[in-house]
């Protein structure tokens, strides 16, 4: 592999590779956290198809939010509210994160941390952290689908999340207020 400084990192199956190691525009702590998170989601748990890439990208992207919260005390609720307000009227921003037969594209990294933060509020911290930890443990070394994750989150939380997941992951519109602001 040609390692250079003109792009971000990547997480092939064995270990992260930081292509942008010499470029401060790409080599940030968030990039390291993101690529390390791929070791649990995308490498340990392999998306069954391109359409399931939210298993890797959504969870790796939200991992940077969790890192910022744990290490820097970042108020994720404030970050969430600011980003929702920033994009509330931009209909092109609220793209689907999961559509059978269609990969979500690179823009998946913009909406997915909001969707997972909303899921965290929907099911509560304990169930959320248990879900992301146990899903990777239970699916380690296997191919998984995004719908496997949805089913696991329902089982772990004891909630029917069908409409929540439809609003955030399956639709191309801003979620209804009850799912946009779950408390």
Residues 26 and 5: beta-carbon distance below 8 Å: yes
Buried b (16+ CB within 10 A) or exposed e, 15-39: ebebbbeeeeebbeeebebbbbbbb
Residues 59 and 41: beta-carbon distance below 8 Å: yes
pTM assigned to the model: 0.85
Residue 57's pLDDT is 85
Mean pLDDT value of segment 58-83:
93
In 3D space, the residue among 58, 18, 70, 25 whose CA is nearest the CA of residue 149 turns out to be: 58
Residue 6's pLDDT is 45
Residue 108's pLDDT is 77
Mean pLDDT value of segment 90-117:
86
Residue 17's pLDDT is 67
Residue 4's pLDDT is 42
Residue 146's pLDDT is 94
More confident residue, 35 or 137: 137
**pLDDT per residue over 146-172, tens digit each?**
999 999 999 999 999 999 999 999 999
**pLDDT per residue over 11-36, tens digit each?**
555 666 666 666 677 677 777 777 77
Residue 36's pLDDT is 77
Torsion of CA 98, 104, 109, 114, to 10 degrees: -30
Q: Which two tokens stand for residue 156?
A: 């772990």
Q: What are the structural domains, with CATH classification, of the chain? A: 1-39 (no CATH), 49-180 (1.10.390.10)
């Amino acid at each position: 592999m040609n390692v250079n400084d003109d792009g971000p990192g990547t997480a092939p199956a064995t270990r992260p590779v930081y292509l942008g190691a010499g470029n401060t525009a790409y080599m940030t702590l968030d990039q390291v956290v993101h690529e390390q998170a791929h070791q649990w989601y995308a490498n340990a748990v392999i998306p069954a198809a391109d359409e399931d890439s939210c298993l890797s990208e959504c969870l790796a992207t939200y991992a940077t939010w969790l890192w910022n919260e744990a290490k820097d005390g970042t108020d994720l609720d404030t970050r969430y509210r600011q980003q929702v307000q920033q994009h509330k009227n931009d209909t092109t921003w609220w793209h689907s994160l999961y559509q059978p037969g269609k990969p979500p594209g690179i823009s998946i990294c913009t909406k997915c941390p909001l969707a997972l933060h909303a899921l965290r509020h929907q099911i509560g911290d304990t169930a959320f952290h248990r879900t992301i930890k146990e899903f990777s443990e239970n699916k380690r070394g296997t191919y998984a689908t995004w719908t496997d994750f949805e089913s696991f989150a329902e089982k772990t939380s004891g909630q029917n999340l069908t409409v929540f997941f439809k609003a955030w992951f399956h639709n191309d519109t801003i979620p209804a207020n009850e799912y946009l602001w779950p408390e």
